[in-house]
Amino acid sequence: MTDTKRIVLSSDHAAIDLRQAIARHIEAKGWEAVDIGPTTPESTHYPEHGAAAARKVASGDCALGIILCGTGQGIMMAANKVPGIRCGVCADPFSARMIRAHNDAQILSLGARIVGEGLALEIVDAFLETEFEGGRHGTRVDMIKALEA
């Protein structure tokens, strides 16, 4: 576990229940869940929620983020448009470890219509409990950062 423990969570309407379950789960594990909603089930727009979470991370207010939509794909695309953000969709714990260890992703994206709650919580644990390895992976992440320059 990293020493900075604020984790931002957001989703669209397709993933409210799973997002709230993840928030409870990570709070129970000692992380601070900064859940920025939404809380009501009306249809909403995933780009707004992906960008809002990504800005919380890019500004340094939160160390990491977890975002969700039906597939995890649309909200991931939006989050990755915020400068400095690396976000990946994961449907298995191995990928979640690797996007931290090798890609230094700060945001995990999940598809609430793809993964059930049990698997989602394992993916979340893998993501939050893995540190970036640096070294040759740092060189490659720097190359990603250079693409934004």
Dihedral (CA of 60, 87, 97, 128) sign: positive
Q: What is the DSSP letter of 100?
A: H
Instruction: Decide whether 71 or 106 has the Cβ nearer to ligand RB5.
Output: 71
Q: Which of 69, 82, 115, 126 binds ligand RB5 (CB under 6 A)?
A: 69
* Known active-site residue 45: no
Residue 79 contacts residue 99 (beta carbons within 8 Å) = no
45 labelled binding-site residue: no
Phi, psi at 133, each rounded to 5° = -85, -20
Report whether 113 belongs to an annotated binding site. Answer: yes
For position 70 contacting ligand RB5 by CB under 6 A, the verdict is yes
Residues 92-131 that bind ligand RB5 (CB under 6 A): none
Quick one: how far is CA 86 from the chain centroid? 9
Instruction: Assess 47 for contact with ligand RB5 (CB under 6 A).
Output: no
Name the residues that contact ligand RB5, by CB under 6 A. 12, 14, 46, 69-71, 73-74
Q: Which residues are annotated as a binding site for D-ribulose 5-phosphate?
A: 12-13, 70-74, 103, 113, 136, 140
Residues carrying an active site annotation? 69, 102
